[in-house]
């Protein structure tokens, strides 16, 4: 059992989500930076799918009633162990936390979301096959609060890795392909999107990264009937300011999608923090021809 002494600014339980229910209006949800959670799970001998804890801006304190193997990945931060002399926790490597010890997480210097995996996984009650907290629909466990206790499941796998290289800081560049509704925008709108950087808004969350920057003008009036949305869709409301959909995005939406971020760059989007600057670029080989 793990006690949440302090959750930090925002902490949730996340696994790889609940895909396959979009036709029922249920978002997929899951870890915003899925590769980081998968790596943390592998480091403690889990499969990739068990639930862990997603910390936003760190700042959490977790007390372990029972001894456990733990790994921390994602946005880099300092981790200290109170009540456990000789334990030196760190990023990207499994470490042993004795019973009664408390892990204290600092604030990340770069990035936004840090992942804590425990051998056996966080075993809260699943909803529609997933233990993920969905901030949009409210499915799954609520965001973590001080005093919450989290059960830990049983473990079958073996720990076979002492340390894994963590991805270094990546340029804040998101590769995109033209979206299904890029024809709703004025000529050259994709070039505008990719021409200058955007700044991440304070209003960003697990639903989407809201951006401020060059306005994307429309060529058509009115709105679309709601249609299916995917993670990474760059949706543009009437303000002309783009929103990059993340894990908790709605399954449908009525604003036109000018572009879609490549799956490989979704972890970059998930780690953007308010005030960061980010650029878009058309994926190589998929730029539109210059014309006749």
CA dist 75 and 91 (Å) reads: 9
pLDDT of residue 286: 56
Mean pLDDT across 144-153? 96
Q: What is the pLDDT of residue 290?
A: 40
pLDDT at 176 over 80: yes
Angle at 241 between CA 238 and CA 242, to 5 degrees: 105
Tokens at 254, concatenated: 């009525």
The whole-number pLDDT of residue 24 equals 83
Per-residue pLDDT reduced to its tens digit, 40-81: 999 999 999 999 999 999 999 999 999 999 999 999 999 999
In tens, the pLDDT along 181-231 reads 988 999 899 999 999 999 999 999 999 999 999 999 999 887 888 888 999
In this structure, is the dihedral angle defined by the CA atoms of residues 62, 63, 66 and 70, taken in order, positive or negative?
A: positive
Residue 79: other Cβ atoms inside 10 A: 21
Which of 14-18, 48-52, 81-85 is predicted least confidently?
81-85
Q: What is the pLDDT of residue 292?
A: 33
Average pLDDT along the chain: 91
Q: What is the pLDDT of residue 291?
A: 37
For the stretch 96-142, pLDDT in tens is: 999 999 999 999 999 999 999 999 999 999 999 999 999 998 999 99
Average pLDDT over residues 19-34: 90
State pTM to two decimals.
Answer: 0.93
């Amino acid at each position: 059992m793990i006690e949440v002494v302090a959750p930090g600014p925002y902490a949730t339980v996340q696994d790889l989500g609940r895909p396959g229910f979009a036709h029922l209006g249920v978002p997929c949800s899951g870890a915003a930076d899925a590769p980081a959670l998968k790596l943390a799970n592998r480091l403690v001998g889990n499969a990739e799918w068990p639930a862990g804890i997603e910390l936003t801006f760190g700042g959490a304190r977790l007390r372990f009633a029972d001894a456990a193997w733990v790994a921390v990945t994602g946005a880099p931060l300092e981790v200290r162990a109170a009540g456990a002399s000789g334990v030196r926790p760190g990023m990207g490597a499994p470490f042993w936390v004795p019973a009664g010890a408390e892990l204290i997480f600092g604030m990340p210097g770069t990035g936004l979301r840090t992942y804590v995996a425990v051998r056996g996984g966080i075993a809260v009650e699943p909803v529609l096959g997933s233990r993920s907290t969905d901030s949009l629909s409210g499915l799954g466990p609520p965001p973590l609060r001080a005093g919450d206790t989290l059960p830990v499941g049983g473990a079958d796998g073996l720990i076979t890795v002492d340390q894994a290289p963590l991805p270094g800081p990546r340029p804040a560049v998101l590769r995109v392909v033209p979206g299904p509704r890029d024809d709703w925008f004025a000529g050259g709108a994709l070039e505008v999107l990719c021409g200058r950087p955007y700044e991440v808004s304070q209003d960003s969350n697990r639903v989407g990264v809201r951006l401020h920057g060059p306005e994307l003008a429309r060529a058509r009036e009115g709105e679309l009937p709601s249609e299916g949305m995917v993670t990474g869709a760059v949706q543009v409301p009437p303000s002309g300011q783009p929103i990059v959909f993340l894990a908790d995005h709605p399954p449908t939406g009525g604003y036109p999608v000018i572009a879609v971020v490549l799956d490989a760059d979704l972890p970059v989007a998930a780690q953007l923090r308010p005030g960061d600057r980010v650029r878009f670029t058309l994926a190589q080989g998929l730029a539109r021809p210059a014309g006749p």
